[in-house]
Structure formats: C-alpha cells, structure tokens
Amino acid sequence: MKGFRDEGVNPGVNPATWRGNLDKLLSAPKKTKQVRNHPALPIDQMSAFMVTLRNLPGVSARCLESRY
C-alpha cells in the first residue's frame, strides 16, 4: 500500500487498517465467537435433499435450490 500512496494511485490511509479505523467499527477479535460451519452433505444424500428442498415453501428454500 505504501507504494501506491507514494505513486498517488491510492492517496490516504489503508481502509483495512485496524488501529484507528476498523477498531471503531468492529468488535475486538478476542471478543468474537469462533465460527463453526455445518459439515458438508455427502454427495449420495444430495438428491434426497434436493427433493425435500423442492417440497418446502418459501424463498429460503428457493435460494438454496438455486445455489446447487
């Protein structure tokens, strides 16, 4: 980033700077919870999952359906 500031391509401060910038907007990393992702669905169960998903009403089911 320093090189870009020197060249005038990106004048100003780095928007990802923690101290004096992001620390005012975000929680401290030590105060956040560890994310635990859901395990992946085995491929042999995917067709049954899609059938179940297509039978569910609502936008959420359609969003998942279009994702896969």
pLDDT at 45: 95
- Residue 33 in domain: no
Total domain count, the chain? 1
User: What's the pLDDT tens digit per position in 14-50?
Assistant: 878 888 888 888 888 888 888 889 899 999 999 999 9
- Residue 36 in domain: no
What range defines the domain where residue 56 resides?
2-28+41-67
- Residue 10 in domain: yes
Residue 65: how many other CB atoms lie within 10 Å: 13
pLDDT at 15: 79
Q: How confident is the model at residue 6 (pLDDT cuts 50, 70, 90)?
A: low
User: What's the pLDDT tens digit per position in 51-68?
Assistant: 999 999 999 888 887 765
- Residue 14 in domain: yes
- Residue 57 in domain: yes
The alpha carbon torsion through 25, 27, 33, 37 (nearest 10 deg) reads 20
